[in-house]
Amino acid sequence: MTDFTDPLVSTEWLAARLGDPSIKVLDASFKMPGVMPRPGDDYLAAHIPGAVYFDVEDVCDASNPLPHMYPDGAQFARDVAAMGVSTGDTVVIYDAGGWVAAPRAWWMFLSFGYDNVRILDGGLKKWQAEGRPTESGKPSPAPGNFTATLDPSYLRSKPQLVANLDSAAEQVIDARAADRFEGRVPEPRPGLRAGHIPGSRNVPYNELFDASTGLMKCPDELRAAFERAGVTLDQPIVTSCGSGVSAAVLTLALYRLGVRGSALYDGSWSEWGAADGPPIAVGPA
């Protein structure tokens, strides 16, 4: 296994290795409910050759009413093996280029004990802008052999975040846009209150990448974004967002800055913002 110091790989790196049977490429593109066309249809229309679709809406606990909550280890192992991934493979994950769900899938692999996983910097957007090949349709990969055990330290629950209101032992960083964080606009998911977890900070995830190229910003710019929000990088951190997806963009940026041991609030605002949920705050942090 190559010794990487950064979880990101370039389009050049991947293009030189397409066809290597030990490298498995997954398309984890995601969109909010109701946004058309659906990401699965986008995938069928065009994806990197050999890529298999990692659907965040399917690789989840279907019995939980909250959106795309973590599955258990047995299900994650089955789902990933069905994508053709085996333990020992190098997994490369990308999305459409908006940094929405590739980091979520990456964090899931890490949470389930598998660290041979990378993210394609710039995603499909950069790949296509460079004129690199794509294919359409749905592949039928040979099933892999994968094992997974969840490390609960990678996640936080509502009770843990409620307890943190008093202890303030962990900094909570919210990846949603400022107008949602401050409660100035309605939440896109019906029935949720507007605002944020009291005491949390706001680092909108789309400030961490270049929208024109799809590339994640350099470490100095990432560090500056967290510092502007009042985040102390050497203190415990939990990331949050609308439903536990874009929060992982913050998690990835922190990881690139050398932060280890952060956690993701899986239920995020879909859980906390419910009408009968815990206390909320509005306005700037």
Distance CA 207, CA 230 (A): 15
Residue ranges of alpha helices (H) inside the chain are: 11-15, 39-45, 73-82, 102-111, 123-129, 158-167, 178-181, 219-228, 247-256, 268-272
Q: Is 218 a catalytic residue?
A: no
- The type of residue at 276 is D
150 closest CA partner among 283, 266, 6: 266
Catalytic residue among 155, 241, 253, 263: 241
Nearest to 124 by CA among 206, 73, 48: 48
Quick check: helix, strand or coil at residue 33?
coil
Order of all β-strands in the sheet with 8-9? 8-9, 117-120, 90-94, 23-27, 52-53
Which tokens go with 185?
Answer: 């606009």
Query: Could you give the CA distance from residue 241 to residue 267 in angstroms, rounded to a whole number?
Result: 9
Residues identified as active-site: 241
